[in-house]
Amino acid sequence: MFDGAFGATSNPTAGITKGFDLGNLSDISKFLAYSAVQGVTQAGIGTLINGGSFGDNLKTAIASQANTVAMATGFNFVGDYVKFPTGSLEKVLAHTLMGGLLAQIIGGDFKTGAAAAGANEALSGILDGMTAGDKQLELMASQLTGILAAIAVGGDVQLGADIAKNATAFNRQGHEDEEHAKEEARKGDFKKEHLDKATCYMIKCWAEYERGSPKYRANYLTEADMVGLSNELTWADAKRDKGLFDYTYFDSLSDFTTRDGLPVATDVLKTGLGLGSTASGATLCATAAGCVFGGPMAVFGAGNTFEDGSGLYNHFWGDEPSSYNPVKDAFYQIPGGYGPAVYSGADLVFSAGAGFVKVPLKVVASDGLKSTSLFGVTVRQFDNNKFIPLTGIGLPYGSALGVYIGGVGGKVFDFYKEASGAK
């Protein structure tokens, strides 16, 4: 009824409204206003036809509209910022979490929302094949999936149907709209490569990749690259009013995270861990037995520190995000392509063994002693007390074991990857 005034397109049969850019705060506000008007209208019509209290009907209608806005915005967020293939494990987990959270927010239970959204995403490939591109049929298939998932966990079937339907409408179908728009434009005078280039420039399609990486450089575009594409840019700009090809604040924040935030944080963290390994290895060398593991551990730690420190430097000032580890490079000289696996295996063995070496029990002034160890008492390294560097503040008992398990677990994974890829 109010689609024209708000620039929206509704599907009364499915109960879905499109036309708002849900990655934009202004459009989210417009969607809220549209939904509020719809709620008031539904309450008025319902009261005239079915009777009852207009106030009660209004509360029910507004709550229903608010739930729709919440689900639409939540699943649109997953589609925008969880940049993994449809149906992938990462996407399924993201949908499962978002579905559960949304279900709780709108007054349902976590398990129903999680099961419905997770199952719907996991079966997305099958549903796409069954519905052959028919969006209405795809929404119905998603609702059925949500109902079955809700039944499986003993949940609310209506909630399951609504969660799955909105996950499809505002995630999978919502992010197909840009491609469909380009397909329609190509039926005219536009060429695919020109449209792809212009729309990439509009949404900064390179900005999600790590700065300087091959994908970043392959997709990077400047204003000079847009020469001769004014018609394509004008077409794409006009589509922004319908929520397409719009680069929002949330997009820039997400891109900063994947382009700079996570790579820098990872390098800083791994540099710190490398320094910690070097220091721990040197400490173990206080005894000959300890040095069997501590010596190599210190060497590997120094190599890792250099590697991640150089990676941090090259992220900002190098031609590409590369790094260098002299210890690793020496192992890579082993013939037959086994160098990486041997390096990872040795790093794993020495790191794992170091945890079992007996070291002096650490204490601080709060223990009532001036000494940093307790009268020659020794414990295994992963049983020792753990303190925040430079502060002397003790961490809860078990922190050392947690750090040990996390570090060794990471090295197990590294070894598995290298061993799987060994020639």
- CA torsion sign, 237 to 241 to 247 to 249? positive
Lowest model confidence (mean pLDDT) among 64-73, 180-189, 362-371: 362-371
Selected residue with higher pLDDT from 134 and 223: 223
Instruction: Write down the pLDDT at residue 148.
Output: 93
Domain ranges for the chain: 3-175, 179-247, 256-421
Per residue in 228-239, pLDDT (tens digit) is 999 999 998 888
Selected residue with higher pLDDT from 380 and 26: 380
Q: Is the separation of the CB atoms in 17 and 33 below 8 Å?
A: no
| pLDDT surpassing 90 at residue 147 | yes
| pLDDT surpassing 90 at residue 157 | yes
> What does DSSP say about strands 358-362 and 393-394: parallel, antiparallel, or unpaired?
unpaired
- CA torsion sign, 130 to 136 to 142 to 147? negative
DSSP conformational letter for 337: G
Instruction: Write down the pLDDT at residue 180.
Output: 75
Per residue in 44-59, pLDDT (tens digit) is 888 888 778 888 878 8
Work out the average pLDDT over 357-377. Answer: 62
Instruction: Write down the pLDDT at residue 299.
Output: 92
| pLDDT surpassing 80 at residue 355 | yes
Per residue in 299-311, pLDDT (tens digit) is 998 998 998 888 8
DSSP conformational letter for 369: -
Instruction: Write down the pLDDT at residue 145.
Output: 92
Selected residue with higher pLDDT from 381 and 140: 140
- Buried b or exposed e, range 239-271, using 16+ CB within 10 angstroms: beebbbbbbbeebeebbeebbeeebbeebeebb
The whole-model pTM stands at: 0.52
Q: Which helix (H) or strand (E) holds 355?
A: none
**Helix residue ranges, H only, 242-359:** 249-256, 262-284, 288-317, 326-331, 339-354
Instruction: Write down the pLDDT at residue 391.
Output: 66
Per residue in 196-215, pLDDT (tens digit) is 899 889 988 888 888 888 88
Instruction: Write down the pLDDT at residue 201.
Output: 92
Per residue in 16-25, pLDDT (tens digit) is 666 666 666 7
Q: Which residues are registered as beta bridge partners of 106?
A: none
Per residue in 324-343, pLDDT (tens digit) is 889 989 998 998 888 888 99
| pLDDT surpassing 60 at residue 370 | no
Instruction: Write down the pLDDT at residue 183.
Output: 81
| pLDDT surpassing 70 at residue 171 | no
Residues 6+ apart with CB under 8 A from 190: 231, 232, 235
- Residue 122 to residues 108, 118, 176, 197, 330, Cα–Cα distance (Å): 22, 6, 18, 32, 44
% of the chain residues with pLDDT over 90: 16
Instruction: Write down the pLDDT at residue 367.
Output: 47
The whole-chain average pLDDT of the chain stands at: 81
| pLDDT surpassing 50 at residue 371 | no
Task: Classify the phi-psi angles of 244: left when phi > 0, otherwise alpha if psi is within -120 to 50, otherwise beta.
Answer: beta
